[in-house]
Structure 1
Amino acid sequence: MLTPKSSRPTPERLLDAAEKLMRTTGLANATTKAIAREAGCSEAALYKHFANKEELFVRVLTERSPNAGPFLAALTADPGERPVEERLTDIARLGSLFYADAMPMAASLFAEPALLTRHREGLQKIGKGPHMVLDALVDCLAGEQGRGRIRADADPRAAASLLLGACFQRAFFLHFSGSEAVQPVDEFAAAVARTTWAAIR
């Protein structure tokens, strides 16, 4: 049985509303006023629970995107004795799915430079941003390097940038040109991980 909207806690209703609007109208058009109205509460109530719209966006991405949790877990998990290439394959697959999910929500920001600047400043205010994914993969690769499983002269940041950049580009092509323009995600992830691993092992 579905819980009536009015009986759900206000933060949950706001996240529901933010997710709906960000997915249907884009981040640029999902104003705090529109989110509050959709949630059936005041804009003041929104700011009681969330610092700004950017915090809502981050929460929607991390809590409501099916691949966000597994992706972040793959980036920060203790590798144990798991082969590095296998780990990179998981990261590439989940990263591709995560970017494919996030891109439509965020794309509208790039049409409005002033809004993009406000969004960037809002993320900085709460200590978040897309660079955190790259930083997590850099830490992951640096850890593997410290364990002697990656060449000492390999550059973890360059390797992380190559792998995640490929995942982001696949998401762009998927949305811009359609699924026929990209490899199936499992095939793509294995190829990108294999090529990255060949350069750094």
Structure 2
Amino acid sequence: MRQALTPTDRTNVTPSSPAAPTRTRILDAAEELMGSIGLVRATTKEIARAAGCSEAALYKHFSSKEELFVAVLQERLPALGPLLRDLMADPGDRGIEECLTEIARSAALFYDASTPIGASLFADPALLRRHRDGLRPMGAGPHQPLRELAAYLRTERAHGRIHPDANPDAAAALLLGACFQRAFLRHFLGEAPEPADAFATALARTLLAGIGR
């Protein structure tokens, strides 16, 4: 992910390459602005100006700011959803500790990158409600990783790799909640926590100690 811009830089954002396709330039600008000044203040008008295109051109590629936000999460931030869906479909031959470690690392990096983008929504209840309503038809939202991780853990339980009495929903909340808390503290305190690899390894082992066979 590129270096985030300060709020005073927002009118000077430029795409990485003027020759890049319009959709790419829009995503470049949206990622920069949403990460630096937050989702609320990053209007489609500002994003289009930073991308070097008209607002009408932006809406030819994205039907709403919510759709653009989801595209930034899916295409530009550390992959979490695709990893969970792949594991849910086929855990493969990897051990569950390895899988949980990979999930925890991806989740820690994802929340670290996405927390500054969405945090400003909570300052405006009406805007939060509109944003939530906009995400619902797309099947998107912060609850999706929880559902997908719980589904993966149910698959592992069916394969006998975690305890039959383990609660997949609770285990998913514990793992992803810890990753979100790490991101929140990093941004609030302005201090880097332990490296993501070490954090993910410790978290996976600790969780597995409670739900493993």
Task: Kindly provide the CA deviation profile for residues 20-43 of structure 1, in whole angstroms up to 9, marking residues without a partner as x.
Answer: 211222111011122222223332
> 1:74 corresponds to which letter in structure 2?
L
The correspondence for 1:21, drawn from 27, 33, 45, is: 33
> Which residue is 1:165 aligned to?
177
* Secondary structure in structure 1 of the residue aligned to 2:40: coil
Report if aligned partners of 1:74, 1:87 keep a CA contact under 8 Å in 2: no
> RMSD of the TM alignment (CA)?
1.9
> Which residue is 1:51 aligned to?
63
Aligned length: 195
Deviation at 1:64, TM superposition (A): 1.4
> 1:43 corresponds to which letter in structure 2?
E
* Secondary structure in structure 1 of the residue aligned to 2:38: coil
* Secondary structure in structure 2 of the residue aligned to 1:179: coil
Report if aligned partners of 2:35, 2:114 keep a CA contact under 8 Å in 1: no
Matches within 5 A, 1:64-103: 64-65=76-77, 67-68=78-79, 71-75=80-84, 76-77=86-87, 78-103=90-115
Structure 2 residue ranges without an equivalent (≥5): 1-14
Q: TM-score, normalised by structure 2?
A: 0.84
> Which residue is 1:196 aligned to?
207
> Which residue is 2:10 aligned to?
none
Report if aligned partners of 2:104, 2:176 keep a CA contact under 8 Å in 1: yes
> Which residue is 1:41 aligned to?
53
> Which residue is 1:122 aligned to?
134
> Which residue is 2:197 aligned to?
186
Deviation at 1:4, TM superposition (A): 4.6
Distance in 2 of aligned mates of 1:123 and 1:148 = 35
Q: Give the percent of matched residue pairs that are identical in Structure 1 and Structure 2.
A: 58
> Which residue is 2:146 aligned to?
134
Deviation at 1:126, TM superposition (A): 2.1
